[in-house]
């Protein structure tokens, strides 16, 4: 276990506690999202806040990954995501077990590959979170039957040259057509990253949905 526990609530009653799990991108590490987690934790004293490390050393030569992106294509990406999904789901379940926080008070916040995995986990039978915040993410394939109980929030830089913003635009269209609760925010000039505007929007989402969980 090389996850980073950013915050453990001390005074919140068990029934009011939340679980906010952050998932980094390929070639990155749990430390890279810990700063974002610390900022968000300040406004959510009732939340367990954890930055989760991917399980495998990255094929890129540094950092960690859920699946390899070497030779990845639109045709084989879905298979790689599906193969990695059980371990991702187990990581979420492990933290729910450790904290005692149930699915309905769990939020997954992913960036890039972390967002890909979080989105994939929410469109299967019995998803493990009430809310997914996907930053610079994508679906590996069009979801067949998203669970309508999960709230989806898609955030993407319009100048992203790694995961094109069209990926989130398509995801929003698919989810809307299926009747899933979804929001989409695009940030002009932002590449493959997180800036102050995106952070502010994440804070707004978490505050607006606070009564949901």
pLDDT tens, residue by residue, 8-33? 998 888 888 999 999 999 999 999 99
- Non-local (6+) Cβ contacts of 149 within 8 A are 127, 130
Active site residue 153: no
**Structure confidence at residue 126 (pLDDT):** 87
- Report yes or no on whether pTM surpasses 0.85: yes
Tokens of 174: 């698919």
- At the second CATH level, the architecture of 4-212 is 3-Layer(aba) Sandwich (3.40)
The single residue of 24, 34, 121, 160 carrying the catalytic annotation is 160
Contact indicator for 119, 171 with CB cutoff of 8 Å:
yes
Q: Does the annotation mark 160 as catalytic?
A: yes
CA-to-CA dists, residue 128 to 97, 124, 209, angstroms: 12, 9, 17
- Domain parsing of the chain, residue ranges: 4-212
Q: Say what the pLDDT of residue 213 is.
A: 42
**Rounded to 5°, angle at Cα 42 from 19 and 37:** 55
Task: Find the catalytic residue in 112, 121, 167, 168.
Answer: 112
pLDDT tens, residue by residue, 36-58: 999 999 999 999 999 999 999 99
> What is the sign of the dihedral through the CA atoms of 142, 148, 152 and 158?
positive
What pLDDT does 28 receive?
A: 96
Catalytic residue among 56, 68, 149, 192: 192
167 is catalytic: no
């Amino acid at each position: 276990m090389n996850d980073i526990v950013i915050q453990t609530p001390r005074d919140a009653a068990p029934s009011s506690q939340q679980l906010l799990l952050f998932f980094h991108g390929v070639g990155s590490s749990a430390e890279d999202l810990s700063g974002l987690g610390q900022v968000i934790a300040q406004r959510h004293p009732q939340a367990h806040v954890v930055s989760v490390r991917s399980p495998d050393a990255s094929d890129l030569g540094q950092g960690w990954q859920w699946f390899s992106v070497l030779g990845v294509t639109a045709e084989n990406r879905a298979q790689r995501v599906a193969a990695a999904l059980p371990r991702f789901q187990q990581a979420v379940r492990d933290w729910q077990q450790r904290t005692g926080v149930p699915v309905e008070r769990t939020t997954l916040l992913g960036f890039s590959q972390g967002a890909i995995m979080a989105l994939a986990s929410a469109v299967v039978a019995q998803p493990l979170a009430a809310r997914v915040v996907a930053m610079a993410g994508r679906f590996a394939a069009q979801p067949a039957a998203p669970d309508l109980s999960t709230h989806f929030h898609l955030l993407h830089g319009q100048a992203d040259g790694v995961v094109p913003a069209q990926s989130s635009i398509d995801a929003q269209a698919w989810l809307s057509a299926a009747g899933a609760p979804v929001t989409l925010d695009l940030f002009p000039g932002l590449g493959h990253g997180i800036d102050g505007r995106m952070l502010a929007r994440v804070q707004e989402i978490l505050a607006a949905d606070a009564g949901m969980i």
